[in-house]
Structure 1
Amino acid sequence: MSAARAIGLVLGLAAEGAFGDPRRRSPVTAFRRIASGPAGLGVAGAAVAAGVLTERAARGRPVLQAATTAAVTWVVVGATGLVGQGTELARDLEEGLLAPARGTLSELDPRVSDGLGMVGLSRASVETLAENTSEVVVAPLLWGALAGAPGLLASRALGVLRRAAPGNWAVARLDELVHLLPTRAAAALTVVAAPVVGGSAGGAWRAWRRDTIAHPSPNAGRVEAAFAGALEIRVGGRTEYPEGVVELPVLGVGRNPDAGHVTRAVELSRVVGWLAAGTSVVLAFAAGLRRR
């Protein structure tokens, strides 16, 4: 069964790469709309329960498990869409088109983007690329490797719910718990990936270990700091959300980011996604061998 789950992850990632535009992915879009309403938590629970039932039904039937894992992976993983939107951001910033960049940023990040200039948009773009790499790529892949379809669905559902209902204390705490491992795995993969994009592995490691100590969240900022260190820039600081202004610690050292750094952040996200895919396949095999 470990082989079936690993094959399903590979097939799902191949489908996600071919049909990964988030603007055309009706399952995720529909779920986001429902999650924004009062029944959001129930819908998320139902999705995870369906994943559990599907996993049980496929037990002892490797072809069915590979097929269901592939389908769920395609639905929840957002690597291709993230790279596409990041590329749009970088291109608009390179051309000085701030209004379209603000629109694209708003699709990825809940912060208030009105009034952000070139530096602010570049900084926000790097931060959201880092955060989303962890949330929509690394986290679902790792939990999918360890828990199959329920892990894939639970990881992504919690992220959607947290953004749809930012004031829900229970959802926020559960989301933090589920992402304790993936955020650190994403930061570690960023350290490994940094030299591939001409970045600094040592800078990524130091920023991750040094600058996130002062961060108020157990997860937020880990992979952002690693991205900043890898690109040798500074992110963090004053950030405005619809519910208010937050003063976050500065992550990384060096210059303020610009459009060129956003382009490199997109490539870094891509490489981290590749590494996460390989890691998830290995974990799926290892989990199956341990159960045996």
Structure 2
Amino acid sequence: MVLFVPFIVCTLALMVDHALGEPRRLHPLVGFGRLAIAVEKRLNTSPERPLPSLLAGGAALLLLMVPVLALAVWVTVALEGPGLIAAQVVALWLAVSLRGLTEHGRAVAEPLQAGELEAARAQVSRIVSRQASALDEQGVAAAATESILENGADAVFASLFWVLVAGIPGVVLHRMVNTLDAMWGYRSPRFLYFGRAAARLDDVMGWLPARLTALTYSLLGNQKLAARCWRHQAPRWDSPNAGPVMAAGAGALNVRLGGPSPYPGGIKPRPLLGGTRVADAASIGAAIRLVLRGVWLWLGVLLAVTALLAAMGYHQ
């Protein structure tokens, strides 16, 4: 029975996420984000000075994460049996965002399908940092598709990976690091040095989950094109983890993503990813289905491996 606990935890957490979604009020990540804003304002006082800014960013990272991580370790040590399983389920539920990803994607696809471009722009502006008012129908669809593929890696598969590898401390640490990278990991004058520690730690923690996600997308879509895009296009992307995920995902869907895109600071040049099909509302739905099928694949592989170990007489 103990062998099947990881499968049970992942399945129950995903079921809770499907039934309830993210907490509408008092979400721990929202509170953590607000605390991060306050800490950054207090410590990031010399963004133009590289060494002090780097040290301040590292100190802020430790100040925010060490107490929460210590609590996660204490819960893991203090609880056992059903209590520990319940705590793991809750931790994974709060970290994973499969229902939220699906809802945000559909909220863009539905008005886009109906020809309501302004409504689709308003919805896509909630999930991407691009200047939505400057996006045409293809741009809106591509932005939403990219967001689903990338967040499938960060908020779904990486959370599953870290809870399986390191339990509650692993999934909590990854979610904190990923959140701080999203808040501080910019190459702007204010965060160029201060956010570097968070960005590098996020790269390290996301390296293997990102490649497992890219492999998942490749297996479940156009395999040859996904592999070719991953091999040739991913190295040109500016993020070492988002590159494989987005390139493999775009190839798996045979949709054209990437390319120059409008941001508040101007047009950002980006390499093209994927195949030749132009992104549209159907591409968003296809990306959602790809992530959902990937989750089923992970659960199936986890169950099969666990059953094999049990059949071989392995005991933890």
TM-score band (shorter)?
0.7 to 0.9
- The answer to whether the 8 Å contact 1:8/1:65 transfers is no
Deviates more, 1:61-70 or 1:93-102: 93-102
Measure the CA separation in 1 of the matches of 2:160 and 2:294.
Answer: 12
Deviates more, 1:12-21 or 1:129-138: 12-21
Measure the CA separation in 2 of the matches of 1:165 and 1:173.
Answer: 11
User: Is 1:134 the counterpart of 2:156 in the alignment?
Assistant: no
What are structure 1's unaligned runs of at least 5 residues?
195-199
**Partner residue of 1:197?**
none
**Partner residue of 2:74?**
53
1:21 Cα offset (Å): 4.3
1:255 Cα offset (Å): 2.7
Q: Which amino acid aligns with 2:76?
A: E
| Partner of residue 276 from structure 1, selected from 285, 292, 298 | 298
| Partner of residue 209 from structure 1, selected from 231, 243, 248 | 231
Q: Deviations over 1:83-129 (max 9, x none)?
A: 11111111121112233323332332233323111111111111111
Measure the CA separation in 2 of the matches of 1:280 and 1:251.
Answer: 31
**Partner residue of 2:55?**
none
Q: How many residues of Structure 1 are paired with residues of Structure 2 in the alignment? A: 285
- After TM superposition, the structure 1 = structure 2 runs for residues 1-292 of structure 1, keeping only pairs within 5 Å, are 1-21=2-22, 23=24, 26-38=27-39, 41=61, 42-58=63-79, 61-166=80-185, 167=191, 168-194=195-221, 200-242=222-264, 245-279=267-301, 292=316
What are structure 2's unaligned runs of at least 5 residues?
41-59, 186-190
Distance 1:98 1:27, change over 3 A: farther
Q: Percent identity among equivalent residues?
A: 31
**Partner residue of 2:47?**
none
1:276 Cα offset (Å): 3.2
Deviates more, 1:66-75 or 1:247-256: 247-256
Q: Which amino acid aligns with 1:151?
A: G
Distance 1:286 1:37, change over 3 A: farther
TM-score by length of 1: 0.87
Measure the CA separation in 1 of the matches of 2:306 and 2:261.
Answer: 38
Q: Which amino acid aligns with 1:227?
A: G
1:45 Cα offset (Å): 3.4
Distance 1:55 1:245, change over 3 A: farther
1:251 Cα offset (Å): 0.9
Deviates more, 1:71-80 or 1:261-270: 261-270
Deviates more, 1:41-50 or 1:205-214: 41-50
**Partner residue of 2:45?**
none
Q: Which amino acid aligns with 2:68?
A: A
Question: Once superposed, what is the RMSD of the aligned Cα atoms?
Answer: 2.7
Q: Which amino acid aligns with 2:236?
A: A
Distance 1:249 1:144, change over 3 A: same
Distance 1:281 1:142, change over 3 A: farther
